[in-house]
């Protein structure tokens, strides 16, 4: 375990040694960002909309006390979305989607000697292949999380009003009450940390694949499990540090 | 000139290379000959630094390479062209992008110049017009040829080919062999080719190094190889010859059949 962690730290340090020109790094990062964004936007949209909808239905089910105003439903959907659901659930979904594709892609390149081919050309394969993925994730994840915030709150609105549990005015006044902007900042900080963890852990797992197709599959699964655990631990630590 | 000095390499306690030394001269096609699993690919990877040898060193034209600073290693590597046994084409890029890649990363050529160069080398390996194909659409032999084109595109000083003609038909294999020899002599580069094909030895082997179970048992010119008294090498040559003789007999029988049918 400790040995793995040491190897991971060494791996991270190679990312920044002797990289390619800034122009190449920029182009590669943009390519990766587009891939990550386009591949994940659909699943993020679906998941966040439904999570928002389910949250609002469940809250209203639990709130049958006549002394609590119905607008509380909107308020609680917003708070839960901003603090936990949008950043953390989205990141866990992305760990599956992005993490497995990073690890699978790098693993395949490793076992088919494509990484060796880069190295022989005098290119630092980690800074060429991995660094753009990490930077791109850090850029794209917050955008996906912001999207997830809107869709989740929107999903709550649709579900709440369609089921007749809450009126449109009540929901809107709920999501506008006692808004703390810092919670959004907190969510974005979390998304950046998670992005770094997912992309670097998955790259690490993929880059050190050896063997054949079977090992590539194992690297992908390993990337997802390790990323998810890292997200949950980091989530706990960040909540203690920053709230 | 590439000098290899006393290279040892083990994987998990199993010795794969056992003290290999040799001098690979400039402008010559040097062949690493040996049966499957004798460590030819591992030796090649030790020379270019993809595998770190346990003991031993490599110098490129007098510059120490093996454990030198990363910067110096990368500088030398930028002069290396290498064909991998599995071709190692970047499978997310078209043939053209694959061959253009080293030119783009290492050189200061303009786009037009690069595409010109891509077309020139594609023509040399007999694949003109394949520019827009993806590697997944190519046959094994075509991948090999694209791999060679990518290796020779940036006018390298050192060329390494791991079994450039395995899996090719005899005619294409011969063409590839000749191409490598031509390039070597034309540009005065140092070439090392891994092979287990005696045809290549006879056609292009300026200098041959015979490996057996991680040891170099013999080195010499192709004229000397037939007169060797190394038992393992003789067996190797004989088995190769056996195959060719068998092929010849088959061909003759076929020919007779054809003649018989015509009669
Ligand atoms: N990365 C590695 N880890 C462990 N063992 C390895 C590794 N690479 C090669 N070997 C072992 O080293 C030995 C020599 O392998 P190598 O690929 O050099 O053979 P070769 O001479 O190129 O054979 P072929 O003609 O079949 O390509 C084999 O027994 C192989 O199992
Ligand atoms: Mg080999």
Residue B70 is predicted with a pLDDT of: 84
pLDDT-based confidence at A105, cuts 50/70/90? very high
Residues sharing a CB contact under 8 Å with residue A122, sequence separation 6 or more, in sequence order: B73, B74, B75, B76, B77, B78, B80, B106
Do the bridges between strand B14-24 and strand B2-11 make them parallel or antiparallel, or are there none, so unpaired?
A: antiparallel
In angstroms, rounded to a whole number, what is the distance separating the alpha carbons of residues B88 and A112? 6
Chain B interface mutation, best of A106, A121, A127, A213, highest count of B Cβ atoms under 10 Å: A121
Mean pLDDT of A122-139: 94
Region label for B109, one of left (φ > 0), alpha (ψ between -120 and 50) or beta (otherwise): beta
* DSSP annotation of B88: -
Q: Give, for ligand 1, the residue of B14, B41, B144, B193 to mutate: max count of ligand atoms closer than 8 Å to Cβ.
A: B41
Residues 131-160 of B with CB under 8 A from A: none
Residue B234 is predicted with a pLDDT of: 86
From chain B, pick out residues whose CB is under 8 angstroms from the CB of A120: 48, 50, 77, 80, 82
Q: How far is the CA of A26 from the centre of ligand 1 (A)?
A: 38
In angstroms, rounded to a whole number, what is the distance separating the alpha carbons of residues A165 and A172? 13
Residue nearest to atom 27 of ligand 1 (CA): B36
Task: Compute CA distances A18 → A123, A134, A189, B69, B71, whole Å.
Answer: 9, 17, 29, 12, 8
Indicate the SS3 state at residue B68: coil
Mean pLDDT of A195-207: 97
Domain ranges of chain B: 2-231
Q: In whole numbers, what is the pLDDT of chain A averaged over residues? A: 93
* Cross-chain residue pair A112–B50, CB shorter than 8 Å: no
Mean pLDDT of A198-212: 96
Asked whether A208 and A96 are in contact (CB, 8 A), the reply is: no
Residue nearest to atom 3 of ligand 1 (CA): B11
Residue B227 is predicted with a pLDDT of: 84
Residue nearest to atom 8 of ligand 1 (CA): B42
Q: Does the pLDDT of residue A225 top 70, yes or no?
A: yes
Residue B23 is predicted with a pLDDT of: 95
Range with lowest mean pLDDT among A40-49, A125-134, A164-173: A164-173
Residue B140 is predicted with a pLDDT of: 86
pLDDT digits (tens, 9 = 90+) for B132-173: 999 999 998 899 999 999 999 998 999 999 999 887 888 888
Residue nearest to atom 30 of ligand 1 (CA): B37
Q: Does the pLDDT of residue A229 top 60, yes or no?
A: yes
pLDDT digits (tens, 9 = 90+) for B19-53: 999 999 999 999 999 989 999 999 999 999 999 99
pTM: 0.89
Least Cα separation, residue A206 to chain B (angstroms): 16
Least Cα separation, residue A117 to chain B (angstroms): 7
Segments of chain B scoring below 70 in pLDDT: 241-251, 254-255, 257-263
Asked whether B78 and B55 are in contact (CB, 8 A), the reply is: no
In angstroms, rounded to a whole number, what is the distance separating the alpha carbons of residues A52 and A170? 16
Q: Does the pLDDT of residue A146 top 80, yes or no?
A: yes
The residue whose two tokens read 């090719």 is B168
Residue B244 is predicted with a pLDDT of: 64
* Cross-chain residue pair B86–A113, CB shorter than 8 Å: yes
In angstroms, rounded to a whole number, what is the distance separating the alpha carbons of residues B82 and A118? 10
For B50, the closest of A18, A24, A119 (CB atoms) is A119
Residue B166 is predicted with a pLDDT of: 83
Q: Which residue has the higher pLDDT, A63 or A42?
A: A42
CATH 3.40.50.300 fits B2-231, yes or no: yes
A15-45 core/surface letters (b: 16 or more CB in 10 A; e: else): beeebbeeebbeebbeebbebbbeebeeebb
């Amino acid at each position: 375990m400790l040995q793995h962690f040491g190897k991971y730290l060494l791996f991270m340090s190679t990312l920044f040694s002797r990289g390619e020109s800034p122009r190449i790094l920029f182009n590669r990062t943009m390519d990766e960002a587009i891939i990550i964004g386009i591949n994940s936007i659909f699943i993020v949209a679906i998941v966040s909309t439904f999570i928002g909808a389910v949250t609002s239905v469940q809250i209203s089910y639990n709130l049958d006390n006549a002394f609590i105003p119905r607008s509380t439903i909107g308020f609680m959907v917003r708070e839960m979305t901003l603090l936990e659901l949008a950043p953390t659930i989205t990141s866990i979904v992305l760990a599956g989607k992005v993490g497995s594709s990073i690890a699978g892609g790098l693993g395949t390149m490793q076992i088919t000697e494509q990484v060796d081919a880069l190295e022989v050309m005098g290119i630092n394969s980690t800074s060429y292949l991995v660094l753009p993925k990490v930077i791109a994730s850090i850029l794209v994840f917050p955008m996906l999380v912001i999207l997830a915030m809107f869709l989740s709150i929107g999903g709550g609105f649709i579900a709440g009003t369609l089921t007749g549990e809450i009126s449109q005015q009540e929901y809107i006044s709920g999501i506008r009450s006692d808004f703390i902007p810092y919670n959004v900042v907190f969510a974005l900080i979390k998304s950046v940390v998670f992005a770094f963890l997912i992309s670097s852990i998955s790259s690490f797992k993929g880059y050190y694949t050896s063997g054949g197709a079977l090992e590539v599959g194992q690297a992908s699964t390993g990337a997802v499990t390790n990323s998810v655990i890292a997200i949950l631990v980091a989530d706990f630590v960040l909540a203690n540090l920053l709230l | 000139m590439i000098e290899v000095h006393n290279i040892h390499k083990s994987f998990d306690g199993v010795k794969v290379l056992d003290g290999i030394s040799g001098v690979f001269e400039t402008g010559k096609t040097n062949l690493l000959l040996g049966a499957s699993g004798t460590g030819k690919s591992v030796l090649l990877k030790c020379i270019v630094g993809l595998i770190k040898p346990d003991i031993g060193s490599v110098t490129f034209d007098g510059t120490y390479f093996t454990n030198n600073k990363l910067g110096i290693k990368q500088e030398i590597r930028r002069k290396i062209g290498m064909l991998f046994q599995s071709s190692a084409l970047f499978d997310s890029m078209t043939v053209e992008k694959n061959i253009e890649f080293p030119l783009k990363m290492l050189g200061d050529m303009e786009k037009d110049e690069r595409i010109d160069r891509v077309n020139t080398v594609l023509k040399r390996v007999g694949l003109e017009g394949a520019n827009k194909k993806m590697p997944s659409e190519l046959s094994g032999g075509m991948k090999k040829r694209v791999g060679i084109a990518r290796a020779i595109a940036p006018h390298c000083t050192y060329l390494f080919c791991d079994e450039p003609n395995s899996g090719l038909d005899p005619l294409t294999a011969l063409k590839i062999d000749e191409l490598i020899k031509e390039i070597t002599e034309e540009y005065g580069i140092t070439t090392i080719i891994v092979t287990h094909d005696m045809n290549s030895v006879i056609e292009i082997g300026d200098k041959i190094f015979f490996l057996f179970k991680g040891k170099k048992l013999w080195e010499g010119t192709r004229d000397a190889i037939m007169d060797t008294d190394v038992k393992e090498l003789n067996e190797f040559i004989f088995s190769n010859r056996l195959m060719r003789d068998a092929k010849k007999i088959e061909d003759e029988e076929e020919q007779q059949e054809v003649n018989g049918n015509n009669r």
